[in-house]
Amino acid sequence: MSASLIVIQLLSGLAHAMVLFLISAGLSLIFGVTRIVNFAHGSLYMLAAYLTYTLTAALPLGPASFYVAVLLAATTVGVVGLAVEVGLLRRVYRAPELYQLLLTFALVLVVADVVRLFWGSENKTGPAAPGLAGSVSILGQLFPTYDLALIAVGPVVSGGLWWLFFRTRWGILIRAATQDREMVAALGVDQARLFTSVFVLGSFLAGLGGALQVPRQAVTNVMDTAIITEAFVVVVVGGMGSVPGALLAAIVIGVVDAFGVLVLPRASLVMMFVVMAVVLIVRPWGLLGRPEAQARSAGGAIAVERALPAPRLWLAAVLAALVLLPPLLPTFYIWVLVEILAFALFAASLHLLMGTGGMVSFGHAAAFGLGAYGAALLVRAKTPMLLAFAAAPLVAALGAALIGYFCVRLSSIYFAMLTLAFAQIAYAVVHQWYDVTGGDNGLLGVWPVPWLAPPLRYYYFSLLTCGGGIALLTLIGRSPFGLTLRAVRDHARRAEAVGVSVRAHQWLAFVVAGLFGGLAGGTFVFLKGSVFPNSLAVSMSVEPLVMVLLGGVQTVAGGPLGAAVYTILDTAATRYTEYWQLVLGAILIALVLAFPRGLLGILAERRRG
């Protein structure tokens, strides 16, 4: 490697890092103060890029148009952030933590279609930055002037933020709230205003990042999902809530990426997740993060689970309908029912982790995908179908044992992000290992044995496996193991003090959740007949999370109910409208506002009152 190559690669990495920093700093701030996992952060970034594209062309200011457009776009997105926080998020702050996640997920869907409505689906190349469009020669190699300017923007913005945090009263309050927001509230600080201002600042930064990307990248419909995972990685590697951490992490990731291109050209898919996994295993709170303050109240996790007595009559009615009705239904509905059953079990298995165990996983797709691939690979190796099916949960449980071993050492969002890292690593392995997994062309021909192939038979088979799985999960939740798990969730230290092995219980819960997640994946793969790396993608981890939150995290029935509602809404919206994301997102927002604790949460509420 020549010196010039090293310098240029370093500079390229830094330019990338500065954009990453702008987006991640906003995300980190928002999480640090409000604890909102803001999936919509990438949508704000995308919105600003489109606004910059349009405004630059519309403004009559000559070369200044672009720069004015950047500021206008970022400001507009800040205002959008204001509207979102005041109009939507504020209404659900009382809901259990993480419930806002459901709202931000719905917003991702809505913004995606709004952008499609206004700007269409075609990719666009935005304007170049006037005055910075050329390049300069550095050690004999050309380097874009604009990237140099970006490298300068980073320190300017971080300087501004430093001044804000260390030289203004507002900044002091923000830092205090990041460390201990209950204490700040107890001291009489107006939390609502604090939250709003942080959300607006965070949105503005996301907007600035998006606007500044326009001269370097294409403006597309999928910018939002392309950036959001990366932004979360940076935030977590840096330490949630730490702006200097975000800067450091952005630089690490940007530079590692740039040099990775030279050393391991096929690994760019997974590089940053490996970095994140290593950092989290060595430093569980990120590079510059702090250990979380021990929660004062019971239920440091996301919900207080009341022993919600199962409404037996309802349960019996649902079961009877599931057994008796399908023969009367058109074939297509039976297929949708199988899909619902698979997702119901998938969501229920996640519920054991996040509801009973208080461990929110962002990587549960790993269980689903490992189960699906395990079964598919065995089928390809000429194993009888039922045997392959039975292996699905075992493969997933094995994977979960390995992943869980590392993950249960962490807590809260760091746990979630480490599960995501492992799921992404599993995704990369499946994606790259062409000889075994078929890479992105997947594994085909994974169909049930002929006697199980007719839709109705496969349906009853799935009812048996998935229904049985859900029943078992319910029993596990109520068993001594489940009760101990709850104790661990509600107060790990006290549980430890009475002699419970916290990690062993959490690990076992992880394995059990993986087992049933794998069973769901096995059921799903024989329904579709093929499996692709998509089954391990981030969206497959987010969907069950959305389902559990939608149904209600308080009870094991919440997952299956959420799965049913979500799948039906999604299927109907996709069938009847081109703008399914807008429709689905709007319905989800309405549901969250009407049932801020999930659909079944209202039951828990009523019983408590």
Q: How far is the CB of 547 from other proteins (least distance, A)?
A: 16
Q: How far is the CB of 170 from other proteins (least distance, A)?
A: 34
Pairing of strands 141-144, 218-219: unpaired
How far CA 37 is from CA of 1, 287, 314, 437, 593, in Å, comes to 41, 19, 34, 33, 17
- Dihedrals φ, ψ of 138, to 5°? -120, 115
Nearer to other proteins, 371 or 404 (CB): 371
Nearer to other proteins, 63 or 291 (CB): 63
Q: Write the single-letter amino acid at 442.
A: G
- Residue 274 burial by Cβ neighbours in a 10 Å radius (0-12, 13-18, 19+): middle
Encode 199-231: b = buried (16+ Cβ within 10 Å), e = exposed. bbbbbbbbbbbbbbbbbbbebbbebbbebbbbb
Nearer to other proteins, 275 or 604 (CB): 275
Cβ-based neighbour number of residue 69 at 10 Å: 25
Q: How far apart are CA 604 and CA 102, in angstroms?
A: 19
The CA R_g of the chain, rounded to the nearest whole Å, is 25
Q: How far is the CB of 528 from other proteins (least distance, A)?
A: 5
Nearer to other proteins, 336 or 487 (CB): 336
CB of 456 closer than 8 Å to CB of 463: no
Nearer to other proteins, 88 or 584 (CB): 584
Q: How far is the CB of 226 from other proteins (least distance, A)?
A: 5
Q: How far is the CB of 15 from other proteins (least distance, A)?
A: 7
Q: How far is the CB of 332 from other proteins (least distance, A)?
A: 4
Q: How far is the CB of 463 from other proteins (least distance, A)?
A: 18
Nearer to other proteins, 135 or 197 (CB): 135
Instruction: Assign 125 to helix, strand or coil.
Output: strand
Nearer to other proteins, 444 or 590 (CB): 444
Q: How far is the CB of 221 from other proteins (least distance, A)?
A: 6
Q: How far apart are CA 573 and CA 317, in angstroms?
A: 27
Instruction: Assign 225 to helix, strand or coil.
Output: helix
Nearer to other proteins, 479 or 574 (CB): 574
Instruction: Assign 281 to helix, strand or coil.
Output: helix
Q: Write the single-letter amino acid at 236.
A: V
Q: Is the dihedral of CA 175, 178, 179, 181 positive or negative?
A: positive
